[in-house]
Amino acid sequence: MSTSVKPIRVGVVGFGYWGPNLVRNLDRLGDAVLVAACDLSEKNLAKFTSLYPAVATTTDLTVFLADHDLDAVVVSTSAPSHHAIAKQVIAAGKHCYVEKPLTLKSSDAEELVRLADAAGVVLMVGHLMEYHSAINWIRETIASGELGDVLYLYAQRLNLGKVRAEENAFWSLAPHDVSIVLYLLGEAPDYVSASGAAYLHDGVQDTVFANLHFPSGKMANIHVSWLDPHKVRKFTIVGSKKMLVFDDMAATEKIWIYDKGVEPAEAMAYGEDLTLRFGDIRVPWIPMKEPLALEVQHFLDCCASGETPRSDGRDGLRVVRILEAVDESMAAGGAPVSTVVEV
Ligand SMILES: NC(=O)c1ccc[n+]([C@@H]2O[C@H](COP(=O)([O-])OP(=O)(O)OC[C@H]3O[C@@H](n4cnc5c(N)ncnc54)[C@H](O)[C@@H]3O)[C@@H](O)[C@H]2O)c1
């Protein structure tokens, strides 16, 4: 629920494919007043004006930041521009939301975190899945102890296409999976080890298997590919008591909890010391809300209250460092690469 009194004066930078979704939510939430938009593309600004004729537009970021008494800025431009734009927004003293990935280099993400701290402004990154009702239900279920200790989990995000040449499959598909893994486990990995292969474009991996190792001994594997016969978006979490599968391709029954496990045998009969346990399967009903509406509302609430967002700059930095370390590990033939960040 909103805690704001005076509407937050928001401007948006970037109105391409994703920006309109953010703007639609900002426009309908009572806590925000949309006052300006900035995009390098006149064509996209014309589209914006046809939808929001009362809102000022410009192609000049400096003018945009100087002219509208903005409280907060939402950045939804392509990733290579995030660092420079966010830096200028923070330097102007505005709260800043940046779409994922926060930056392309962890050193740039670190700089943004430090600058936002020093300026006393909110820095939030668009890790949308942290606001997904099913992911939050799973997080609460893990915290309740129903699964026992989480031992390991794996994520699969596979499809045939869309093939890209400007970034590899891990940068393109895995930022959400990485943020989900960190959010669910409540822990950051200490190193990653990854293998990938570039079958379609030289040097651009289409298929990546990344192993994240956690100080607690937990393990997570993320498999992404745009060269696969199946469209799969699935998480499997293996706990010491139960196992959970989240199938994001399922229209309704997204979560399945299996009462299965391996336990010490009561009697050491036949020389066996472990028994397999097979029990019921539960498919809970989960009330769903639009994750983007929840995410945008959370940003506005944090701007109003000064609270640290769930997906704050440090969360963004951790994810960028993991994406970067996966590249480094693939280049080093799968060698372990540290993912520890200092800020
Ligand atoms: N959360 C999600 O599920 C999700 C989904 C899609 C995209 N995204 C993210 O949203 C961001 C935008 O993606 P997109 O697909 O909309 O890209 P896009 O290329 O369709 O749109 C980017 C827009 O930004 C404008 N732009 C680029 N550089 C600019 C600059 N320096 N100043 C002002 N305007 C500039 C472009 O003209 C364009 O209108 C990316 O970070 C992407 O990863 C997130």
Ligand 1 centroid, distance to 83 Cα (angstroms)? 13
85 and 146 in a common domain: no
Closest atom, ligand 1, to C-alpha of 80: 28
Q: Which of 105, 126, 147 is the last residue in one of the domains?
A: 126
Residues paired with residue 233 on neighbouring β-strands, in sequence order: 157
Inside any domain, residue 300: no
**Residue 106 CB partners (closer than 8 Å, separation 6+):** 317, 320, 321, 324, 341
Q: Domain range spanning residue 92?
A: 8-126
pLDDT tens digits for the chain (343 residues)? 444 468 999 999 999 999 999 999 999 988 999 999 999 999 999 999 999 999 999 999 999 999 999 999 999 999 999 999 999 999 999 999 999 999 999 999 999 999 999 999 999 999 999 999 999 999 999 999 999 999 999 999 999 999 998 899 999 999 999 999 999 999 999 999 999 999 999 999 999 999 999 999 999 999 999 999 999 999 999 999 999 999 999 988 999 999 999 988 765 556 678 889 899 999 999 999 999 999 999 999 999 999 999 999 999 999 999 999 999 999 999 999 999 998 8
pLDDT on residue 252: 87
Residue bearing the CA closest to ligand 1, atom 11: 76
Q: Which of 126, 155, 187 is the last residue in one of the domains?
A: 126
Question: Per the structure, how many domains does the chain have?
Answer: 2
Residue bearing the CA closest to ligand 1, atom 40: 78
161 and 114 in a common domain: no
Residues 267, 264: Cα–Cα separation, whole Å? 9
**Residue 153 CB partners (closer than 8 Å, separation 6+):** 181, 184, 185, 218, 219, 220, 221, 235, 236, 237, 238
Inside any domain, residue 313: no
Inside any domain, residue 149: yes
Ligand 1 centroid, distance to 53 Cα (angstroms)? 21
122 and 137 in a common domain: no
CATH number of the domain to which 280 belongs: 3.30.360.10
**3-state SS string for the chain:** CCCCCCCEEEEEECCCCCHHHHHHHHHHCCCEEEEEEECCCHHHHHHHHHHCCCCEEECCHHHHHHHCCCCEEEECCCHHHHHHHHHHHHHCCCEEEEECCCCCCHHHHHHHHHHHHHHCCCEEEECHHHHCHHHHHHHHHHHHCCCCCEEEEEEEEEEECCCCCCCCHHHHHCHHHHHHHHHHHCCCCCEEEEEEECCCECCECCEEEEEEECCCCCEEEEEEECEEEEEEEEEEEEECCCEEEEECCCCCCCEEEEEEEEEECCCCHHHCCEEEEEEEEECCCCCCCCHHHHHHHHHHHHHHHCCCCCCEHHHHHHHHHHHHHHHHHHHCCCCCEECCCCC
User: Which of 18, 25, 290, 315 is the best mutation target for the ligand 1 pocket, counting ligand atoms within 8 Å of the beta carbon and taking the most?
Assistant: 18
The pTM of the full predicted model, rounded to 2 decimals, is 0.95
Q: Which of 96, 111, 126 is the last residue in one of the domains?
A: 126
pLDDT on residue 4: 45
178 and 104 in a common domain: no
Ligand 1 centroid, distance to 280 Cα (angstroms)? 45
Sign of the CA dihedral running 127, 130, 133, 134? positive
Determine if ligand 1 sits within 6 Å of the CB of residue 179: no
Ligand 1 centroid, distance to 296 Cα (angstroms)? 16
Inside any domain, residue 260: yes
148 and 120 in a common domain: no
Ligand 1 centroid, distance to 332 Cα (angstroms)? 31
Determine if ligand 1 sits within 6 Å of the CB of residue 20: no
Ligand 1 centroid, distance to 15 Cα (angstroms)? 7
120 and 160 in a common domain: no
Determine if ligand 1 sits within 6 Å of the CB of residue 292: no
Inside any domain, residue 105: yes
